[in-house]
Amino acid sequence: MAAYTIYIVVALTIVLVFSAFRILREYQRGVIFMLGRFWKVKGPGLIIVVPVIQQMVRVDLRTIVMDVPSQDVISRDNVSVKVNAVVYFRVIDPEKAIIQVENFQLAISQLAQTTLRSVLGQHELDEMLAERERLNSDVQGILDQQTDAWGIKVANVEIKHVDLDDSMIRAIAKQAEAERARRAKVIHAEGEMQAAEKLTGAAAILEQNPQALQLRYLQTLTEIAPGGSSTIVFPLPMDLIMPLMGKKE
């Protein structure tokens, strides 16, 4: 009986000794608590954790990609949209990430959702669609400032989708079509104005040179009668007759 007890004690001792050895990978750290109080951060590599007396919490230092669920946002111009995003963050201080907040991933997820609604609600729909990079920077700055006390670094925030309802999509399409029509009319008017300016300049030049005006007149006649069988009746300009009458006299 005594020998059996000794075997049990030896086996338990061996189990405790082996359980004291922990291996942490390069991207992991161990937050060690001794009798409930924070002691130190260990790792990476082989570390020893005294059973019963010490407890270890593993912390991953790699960048974590978190998907922010779709949020209902009302823009400043009273347009309801659904927006979702993705947040990139990592732990830079394992001690704060474990001690200062109960579950830092859940806390960041909730904070990202509220911040996304708050920031986008201050902008109009056109800004959400056209100035996405600036909105990403604004959300990232607010999150990074809030999570600094938790030992978390928010590296980037990207807005993925801004979903509109069908009625708003049709309204935007009509607005774009009206804008294209307006631009076409403006371009046409500008072309007419430039053509009028050129014609005015050409008329001034022809007025100073009557011979050039006569040549232009003859060229116009050849353009309106491309076929050989065409018959054109036109009044003879006095500019052509007067030189002949002067020679005859």
Decide if 249 is inside a domain. no
Question: For residue 30, what are the domain limits?
Answer: 2-60
45 belongs to a structural domain: yes
User: Does any domain span residue 219?
Assistant: no
Of 124-128, 192-196, 214-218, minimum mean pLDDT range: 214-218
Nearest to 138 by CA among 126, 154, 125: 154
Residue 91, amino acid: V
The answer to whether the CB of 101 falls within 8 A of the CB of 89 is no
Q: Would residue 32 count as lying in a domain?
A: yes
**pTM for the whole thing?**
0.67
Shared-domain flag, residues 94 and 148: yes
Q: Which of 69-83, 120-134, 203-217 has the lowest mean pLDDT?
A: 203-217
Same domain, 158 and 80: yes
Whether residues 79 and 156 share a domain: the answer is yes
We report the CATH number of the domain holding residue 94 as 3.30.479.30
Q: Are residues 115 and 158 in the same domain?
A: yes
pLDDT tens digit sequence for 2-57 = 677 777 777 777 777 777 888 899 999 999 999 989 999 998 999 989 888 899 99
Angle at 126 between CA 121 and CA 129, to 5 degrees: 90
**Residues 78 and 54 both lie in one domain:** no
Domain match, 171 and 196 both: yes
In a domain, 24, yes or no: yes
- Tell which phi-psi region holds residue 60, choosing left (phi > 0), alpha (psi between -120 and 50) or beta: beta
Closest to 120 measured CA to CA, from 111, 109, 107, 132: 132
Residues 106, 62: Cα–Cα separation, whole Å: 17
Domain count, the chain: 3
In a domain, 221, yes or no: no
Q: Helices in the chain by DSSP H: which ranges?
A: 2-19, 94-99, 104-120, 125-130, 132-147, 166-208, 210-224, 238-248
- CA 229/CA 220 separation, integer angstroms: 17
Do 13 and 93 have their domain in common?
no
Residue with tokens 């109960």: 102
Q: How confident is the model at residue 138 (pLDDT cuts 50, 70, 90)?
A: very high
Query: Does residue 50 share a domain with residue 91?
Result: no
DSSP 237: P
Q: Are 108 and 155 in contact (CB under 8 A)?
A: no
Amino acid found at 237: P
Q: Find the angle CA(49)-CA(52)-CA(58) to the nearest 5 degrees.
A: 45
Same domain as 147, residue 94:
yes
**Within a domain: 194:** yes
Report for 10-14, 51-55, 101-105, 218-222: range of highest mean pLDDT: 101-105
Would residue 28 count as lying in a domain?
A: yes
Pair 153, 71 in one domain: yes
Alpha-carbon distance values, 175 to 35, 84, 136, 171, 240 (Å): 67, 25, 26, 6, 58
